[in-house]
Amino acid sequence: MPHLELGTLTLLLAQIAAVMFVSRMVGVVARWVGQPLVIAEVIAGIVLGPSLLGWVWPEAMTVLFPENSLIVLRMLSQIGLVLFMFLVGLKLDLKLFEVRTGESVFISHASIIVPFALGAVASWWLYAAYASPGVPFLPFLLFMGISMSVTAFPVLARILEEQHLLESRIGAIAIVCAAVDDVTAWCLLALVVAVANNQSIASASWTTVLALIFILVMVFLVRPLLRILWTRFVGQEGLMPSAVALIFLLLFASSALTELIGIHALFGAFFFGAMLPKEARIAKFLVERLETVTVVIFLPLFFAYSGLRTQIGLVNQVDEWLVTGILILIATLGKFGGSAVAARLTGLRWSEASVIGILMNTRGLMELVVLNIGLDLGVISPTIFTMLVLMALVTTIATTPALLCIRSFDRSTAASSPMFLVQPQTSISSAVSWRSSGNNP
């Protein structure tokens, strides 16, 4: 291919167009085989990266994604993630935590503790070979634990909707578990980022104190203030433009503040979204105006950026593929096993508990966010980043077929168990149903 240089704006527009086109094309296939859109977007990112395009046609990748252009792509993808995490927080109705809290919190904590412990144990084995040079063991251990513990709340909600389980009792338990899991995982991730930035628990204490102050201010000052302002800014058609401007101002200020504190901008975006009043009409107004542009344009850029960092060619030895397989096994045993056993201990049948375990093993976008943070911090090497991306891909792809297999294998239970029957409109189903749009990744 002749040498070709594109102007900065032309190049960026070409990158966005290429990412959207490939994502939509792969998305058609993903939908056809019953997979969520997030799978298509992850694969599309890998297709456009060094694992495929760079291998088959390196000149094209050099022209389309030159190294010096990736900083712009990264910044756009980070803005997209800030908007997306705000939407995740906005969709997270805090009333969910008032329903079936006992068993759901027990299952959720088991689904975090067990895989976290297994990931921590695995880190002893992986540290010497796969940690980035100079990284202390503690941040690597904590990061491996959290990378095994993540559940993708938006993907899980979408799968529940597609399987007509969103308004069933088992769907209610799963969605509350995922909500608790999300909040707990992000708090743990904030701690991991603080430790990684400061290199020790002792030096991270100040960051932890500032993070707690941030949370207290948001809960006891910002949230009540927003409730007061809410009535002033709501018109007949929804939020006034000045209200939307104020929300964006506070969103970016919250994100910038948590980035400055040292616990990552995404935590501030997520927490601010969770603190906004959840009056359904207003929240729906915000989601309808933000979700499409975020999910259709910005998130595919994040997946493309992740794909450009995923080099499957780095996993080129038999022992490295064996390590990848073991990581997939550890992640599945920890998440599925911890969730299913905990669900069984709460009194669910094994078939019902297995459904909970399968759903909680869904990772998707949230895992990629965590992995990119780990790579940006220099905690993990590109090789183990690739291995963990493959783990996230496999565990998410397996969710829908495994769920169908369990339900078809035990049709009598699925047909008769009250856990699988649609319930009257509950606070959970009403809180989640409008939130699970077709755009959710």
Region at 245 (left for phi over 0; alpha for psi -120 to 50; beta for the rest)? alpha
- DSSP SS3 for 88: helix
Rounded CA separation 36/166 (Å): 16
pLDDT of 100 above 90: no
Residue length, the chain? Answer: 441
Residue scoring higher pLDDT (409 or 337): 337
Decide: 169 and 389 in contact? Cβ < 8 Å: no
pLDDT (tens digit per residue) in 381-398? 999 999 999 999 999 899
- Looking at the chain, the whole-number percentage of residues with pLDDT higher than 90 is 30
Q: What pLDDT, on the 0 to 100 scale, is given for residue 172? A: 76
Q: What pLDDT, on the 0 to 100 scale, is given for residue 385? A: 94
Query: pLDDT band at residue 6, thresholds of 50, 70 and 90?
Result: low
CB atoms under 10 Å from CB of 306, counted, come to 24
Rounded CA separation 232/245 (Å): 14
- Looking at every residue in the chain, the average pLDDT score rounds to 82
pLDDT (tens digit per residue) in 192-238? 888 777 655 666 677 778 888 998 999 899 988 888 877 776 655 56
Decide: 363 and 395 in contact? Cβ < 8 Å: yes
CA angle 12, 80, 214 (to 5 degrees): 140
The residue type of 196 is A
Q: What pLDDT, on the 0 to 100 scale, is given for residue 235? A: 59
What domains can be seen in the chain, in order of their start residue?
8-429 (1.20.1530.20)
Decide: 310 and 48 in contact? Cβ < 8 Å: no
Which residue carries 């344009």 as its tokens? Answer: 297
